[in-house]
Chain A
Amino acid sequence: MRSLHRTIDPDDLRDALALAAAIGVVGASFGALAAAAGVPMSLTMALSLLVFAGGSQFLAVAVVAAGGSAIAAVAAGLLINVRHVPFGLAVGGNIADRWSTRLLGAHIMIDEGVAFSRARGSGGRGRAAYWMCGMLLFVFWNVGTVVGGLAGSSVPDTDTFGVDAAFPAALLALLLPSLRQADARRVGLVAAAVALLATPLLPAGLPVLAGLLGVFAARLPADDRRDP
């Protein structure tokens, strides 16, 4: 990772640390919630280390806590993680050249890292951003999980700190440069509308995937006529 060290931008590091701090807080709330739901610490840690996908971890624990079966928990968690397939298609070329490194980099693929890397372009800076953001978030998420698991019920409700607003705002800030293009704006608007309309109707994970339909808004019907 010598080249990574050389290409890290101090501003990118600062931004990634801000995200990492926020994810550490959410990790602590995950650890505390899992402990409250009676999940043994070893399993909670295994979830954070081996799954490393916050949404699916919260969902899986919630399903079991609500009396659902382990199979239902796994299915719900996997459904919410299907979005990683199109993410891999989009940023797959920006992880590493060697397959061994790519297979390692796949594990730290996370929404914020994908957005962070895309905002830094497809060159060396984007690649460094993917690894730096992914690794920092991985470390903070897991440290947070340990702290939360040990502190248990003495962890305050993280909603008090507003971290639930920090993530959508951060993702949006990372997306803004790509939304300067008109086709991306149209796609985003339709994706948001579809996902919001689908939320009361579909199980968790599917509304976001349904947002993919927004891609059909990339071209205006009028564009076809204007094309040479």
Chain B
Amino acid sequence: MNWPAVLALAAGTYLLRVTGIVLRDRVRLPGRVQRYVDLGATALLVALVATAALTDGTGFAGWARPAGVAVGALAAWRKVPFVLVVVLAAGTTSALRYLGVP
């Protein structure tokens, strides 16, 4: 890494962050389109969850991580407090790895 690269990544990332906010302000979106924009955010976040839970690089993440995420998901669905969801997910994965599950 060098300074020009770091500053280019920083400036580019900031521009990407601002672009959506500016677009949102400039363009009046009808209610139906607004719903699709909202669904777009849902789509991205669910895609993030799926890839972060199951993949590492271009391959499968191993069983420990998805198992932890599944326990966390089940806890969240059962309305367990958010803090516990986070702890249960990490704890399950950590315990499985301790037992030698990849």
A binds B: yes
Interface residues, chain A, CB within 8 Å of chain B? 14-15, 18-19, 22, 34, 39, 43, 46-47, 50-53, 56, 60-61, 64, 70-71, 73-74, 77-78, 81-93, 95, 102-103, 106-107, 109, 111, 114-115, 118, 159-176, 178-179, 183-184, 187-196, 199-200, 207-215, 218
Question: Quick one: CB contact mask for B78-102 with A, threshold 8 Å, 1 for yes?
Answer: 0000110111111111110110000
Q: A106-B21, A178-B42 are in contact. Are A84 and B55 (CB under 8 A)?
A: no
Q: B5 near A74 (CB under 8 angstroms)?
A: yes
Which one, A53, A93, A184, contacts B42 given CB within 8 A? A184
- Docked CA distance A192–B47 (Å): 4
Q: A43-B1, A172-B72 are in contact. Are A90 and B41 (CB under 8 A)?
A: yes
Number of interface residues of B (CB under 8 A): 74
Instruction: Tell me which residues across on chain B come within 8 A of A92, comparing CB atoms.
Output: 20-25
Interface residues, chain B, CB within 8 Å of chain A? 1-10, 12-14, 16-25, 35-55, 58-59, 61, 64-69, 71-73, 75-77, 82-83, 85-95, 97-98
Instruction: Tell me which residues across on chain B come within 8 A of A77, comparing CB atoms.
Output: 9, 12-13
Chain A: which residue is nearest B82 at the CB level? A15
Interface of B is mostly: helix
Q: List 9 A-B contacts (CB under 8 A).
A: A46-B10, A81-B17, A85-B16, A88-B16, A92-B22, A183-B39, A193-B50, A208-B44, A211-B43
Interface of A is mostly: helix
Instruction: Tell me which residues across on chain A come within 8 A of B1, comparing CB atoms.
Output: 34, 39, 43, 47, 60-61, 64, 70, 73
Q: Which of B21, B43, B98 has the most CB of A within 10 A?
A: B43
Instruction: Tell me which residues across on chain B come within 8 A of A160, comparing CB atoms.
Output: 94, 97-98
